[in-house]
Amino acid sequence: MRYHNFSFALLTAFAVLQTTAQAEVKVGLVTDVGRVNDRSFNQSAWQGVTEACEQLGAEEGKDCKYIETRDAKDYADNIDQFIEAGFDVVVSVGFALGEATASAAAENPETFFIGVDQFQGAPLPNLAGLIFNEDRSGFLAGALAANLTESGTIASVLGTDLVPPVVAFGEGFIAGAKYIKPDINVITTYHPGEISQAFTDPEWGAATTKQAIDKGADVIFGAGGITGNGALQEVAANEGLFCIGVDTDQWLTLPAAHPCLVSSAMKLITPGVIDLIKTFSDGTMTSGNYFGGSALAPFHDFDDQVPAEVKTQLAEIKTGLEDGSIKTGYGQ
Amino acid sequence: MPESIKRIARAVSSALLVPIMALIVAFALGAVVMTLFGDDPVAAYQGLYDGAFGSAKAWARTLLKTTPLILTGLAVAVAFKAGLFNIGAAGQFIIGTVCSVAVGIHFEGTPLLIHLPAALLAGIAGGMIWGAIPGLLKVYTGAHEVITTIMMNYIASLFAGWTVYAGGRQGQSPGPLWDPTARAISETPDVLTSAQLPLMGNPRLDLHLGIIIAPLAALLIWWLIYRTTFGFEVRTVGRNADAARYAGMYPRRTTVMAMALAGGLAGLAGAIETLGLNHKFAPEFGGSVGFEGITVALLAQTHPLGVVFAAFLLGSLEAGASRMQFESGVSADIIDVIQALVLIFVAAPLIIRSLWPGKRSSLAAGTKTQ
């Protein structure tokens, strides 16, 4: 008993020591244009920073801060604020900050940079791009959709095929659906416009969804920013159909889709950011591309409509995708 | 002699009363808003000051933010002098950007002394055309310039987007200025070094020649408006177009020329931002400097030299915003709140003047100077 107490005290002392030692870590986050509480990428990343800071004993608001970007031209200035103040880790959120982040990383080799959703073509030793296997999230969504469909037809309404992650979502969705029901009919539609329109066209999303529903689709996967949201909202206007969101848990971001939103194909940004910050505080800089996890969002109000065996099956598929026993077929 | 000095002093203080009071009241109300949200306004304003003037880098940021605002401010102010409300500086700015990029990415091997001026002139010319169109529409069809300049803004940003369109898999062809090495991203290549504005001083500060061109342009416009026949005509047409016609002037020609001049200034702003700072065009670079030009011009009471100070003020607010957020945690949106308050008070000077413990007569006299 006494021995246990002693070792417990020792452990506590060690933990305290470690905490005080690691409170040296200062973490800054630069958002993409928008709010830090956008219930999307910015918020997920900031949540990762705050949780990592809590675990490392750094004080939010002092050692861990964020700057909301107001104008796309300010990316570099905002990153500079943290560098000038001697922060150790700078997290920048979103594909658009990739260039500014890479050039800041090249100029400041002592600072560790985490670029959320930034693919690293030319890796730097102090820059980690947190990216995702979208095909795996799409695969899980497809498997769920195939289990839910009664008509045997499902659909995906997607942003432009000019953007590789969108194609990964779409291809993964097909593969996942066929994995459950090999003869399933999947209607896949990409937005025909350029990048600046493809993700901001809810009318196209709604119209395309309507066409898919007319062809018998009863589960629709909407993946493509506001375009995808238009698809989800169109599904919500119909009785008895299901829709699946993308990126973050859209139950929280898009209440208008509640009537149909059974789940979302998520990129797990929060745990990815936490892991990367912790590897830095452990003394290593992860560099190059770091793959975050993929998962389905909670079923929320639809929890009792998804049979227990389907839930088990989805969990098995998730494990299978992670250990490589199940392949999505995308990019291989 | 002392009497005339006194008169000038009185005129100057009367002209400065509204803008200065507007700033003080706007900052005070901004502090009230922050306090209501539980933030510390002292820390916020300290951060704002540090971010704008706290270091060489901060000063550089402020000057770089000020530069385009001077020119878009002038674009609005010049039109005001001719009695026109130019809401189109944003579109003229974008066209200036696109035209200067179009020249800047081509003609490899041209010496800087030819290439750079050509790219700048292309930006000015593009802006002039974009400004002249609403002027022509006004004098020949009576279409109000507020409506047409707003519409021209939309056309400009859609046109600019088309020039860098990355193309699609459905067979649409990419835009003429698109950079194929950017693959799916819609943006132009970098302008050639021979078309970039040279940097001055420490290259890390990014201080390009544009920060000198802009105030010089303000000086030139002041001379043009107050010391030339053209300027006299602009001001006369602005006060009373009928009287100007009776006096033998051509109000239609003056209106079109004033709008072209205004457009050229905003186009130059776009050219300088591109050739000095961004070195390329991407649709998200549109920004808000065109609209902020309206605030600048109103704060400056449409005086070309006042525009320099007003732009400097707004530029320092913009430059300090990041630091303010960093130091105090106050959302940078407070900068927009303060700018909006400044705009309200300079646009509605009676609110300010009623706060000033002066005589009724000075109130009336003051409003007449508007």
Has residue A316 been placed in a domain?
yes
What is the least distance, in Å, from the CA of B64 to any CA of chain A?
11
What is the least distance, in Å, from the CA of B40 to any CA of chain A?
13
Q: Is A195 in contact with B166 (Cβ distance < 8 A)? A: yes
- Residue of B213, B266, B252, B257 lying closest to B231 (CA atoms): B257
Looking at the structure, do residues A111 and A214 belong to the same domain, yes or no? no
**Region A60-71: what's the mean pLDDT?**
88
Looking at the structure, do residues A152 and A171 belong to the same domain, yes or no? yes
* Number of domains forming the structure of chain B: 1
The distance in angstroms from the start CA to the end CA of chain A is 56
Query: Looking at this predicted complex, what is its ipTM?
Result: 0.74
Q: CATH number, domain at A221? A: 3.40.50.2300
pLDDT at residue B364, as a whole number = 43
Residue A207 has pLDDT above 60, yes or no: yes
Q: How many CB atoms lie within 10 A of CB B130?
A: 31
> Residue B216 contacts by C-beta under 8 Å, 6 or more apart in sequence?
none
The torsion region of residue A225 among left (phi > 0), alpha (psi -120 to 50) and beta comes to left
pLDDT at residue B368, as a whole number = 40
Question: What confidence tens digit (pLDDT) does each residue in A142-172 have?
Answer: 999 999 999 999 999 998 887 788 899 999 9
Q: β-strand A288-296 against A261-268: which pairing, if any?
A: antiparallel
Looking at the structure, do residues A164 and A311 belong to the same domain, yes or no? yes
When CB atoms are compared, the residue of B57, B165, B326 closest to A194 is B165
Looking at the structure, do residues A67 and A124 belong to the same domain, yes or no? yes
Confidence at A330, pLDDT banded by 50, 70, 90: confident
Stretches in chain B below the pLDDT threshold 70: 1, 167-172, 183-184, 286, 356-370
Question: What confidence tens digit (pLDDT) does each residue in A71-108 have?
Answer: 878 899 899 999 989 999 999 998 889 889 999 999 99
Has residue B140 been placed in a domain?
yes
pLDDT at residue B171, as a whole number = 55
Question: What confidence tens digit (pLDDT) does each residue in A105-128 have?
Answer: 999 999 999 999 898 988 999 999
Distance CA A48, CA A163 (A): 26
Distance CA B243, CA B249 (A): 9
Question: What confidence tens digit (pLDDT) does each residue in A3-41 have?
Answer: 455 555 554 544 444 444 445 799 999 998 878 887 788
| Residue A186, CA distances (Å) to A171, A327, B170, B305 in order | 10, 19, 20, 65
Has residue A234 been placed in a domain?
yes
> Residue B226 contacts by C-beta under 8 Å, 6 or more apart in sequence?
none
pLDDT at residue A93, as a whole number = 94
Question: What confidence tens digit (pLDDT) does each residue in A174-202 have?
Answer: 999 999 999 999 999 998 877 667 888 89
Strand partners, A268: A293
When CB atoms are compared, the residue of B161, B284, B322 closest to A72 is B284
When CB atoms are compared, the residue of B57, B166, B321 closest to A162 is B166
| Residue B112, CA distances (Å) to B101, B102, B124, B194, B216 in order | 15, 16, 18, 4, 21
| Residue B126, CA distances (Å) to B97, B159, B270 in order | 9, 13, 10
DSSP state of B285: G
DSSP state of B271: H
Percent of chain B whose predicted confidence (pLDDT) is above 90: 68
pLDDT at residue B369, as a whole number = 40
Has residue A3 been placed in a domain?
no
Looking at the structure, do residues A87 and A200 belong to the same domain, yes or no? no
Question: What confidence tens digit (pLDDT) does each residue in B238-288 have?
Answer: 999 999 999 999 999 999 999 999 999 999 999 999 999 999 998 877 678
- Domain that residue A107 falls in: 24-132+269-293
What is the least distance, in Å, from the CA of B160 to any CA of chain A?
12
Looking at the structure, do residues A227 and A282 belong to the same domain, yes or no? no
Has residue A99 been placed in a domain?
yes
- Residue of A53, A56, A52, A30 lying closest to B326 (CA atoms): A30
Has residue A9 been placed in a domain?
no
> Position of tokens 């300049």?
B149
Has residue A173 been placed in a domain?
yes
Looking at the structure, do residues A107 and A245 belong to the same domain, yes or no? no
Angle, nearest 10°, between helix axes B56-81 and B289-299? 70
- Domain that residue B115 falls in: 67-300
Looking at the structure, do residues A243 and A281 belong to the same domain, yes or no? no
pLDDT at residue B309, as a whole number = 95
Cβ-based interface (< 8 Å): residues of B facing A: 51, 55, 57, 61, 161, 165-170, 172, 184-186, 277-278, 283-285, 287-288, 321-323, 325-326, 329, 331-333, 335
* Number of domains forming the structure of chain A: 2
DSSP state of B201: S
Looking at the structure, do residues A113 and A156 belong to the same domain, yes or no? no
Looking at the structure, do residues A100 and A159 belong to the same domain, yes or no? no
Question: What confidence tens digit (pLDDT) does each residue in B307-331 have?
Answer: 999 999 999 999 999 899 988 888 8
pLDDT at residue A74, as a whole number = 86
Has residue B50 been placed in a domain?
no
pLDDT at residue B16, as a whole number = 82
pLDDT at residue B297, as a whole number = 95
Looking at the structure, do residues A173 and A307 belong to the same domain, yes or no? yes
pLDDT at residue B184, as a whole number = 65
Has residue B317 been placed in a domain?
no
Has residue B31 been placed in a domain?
no
pLDDT at residue B227, as a whole number = 96
Looking at the structure, do residues A124 and A138 belong to the same domain, yes or no? no
Q: Is B167 in contact with A163 (Cβ distance < 8 A)? A: no
Lowest mean pLDDT among A62-76, A145-159, A257-271: A62-76
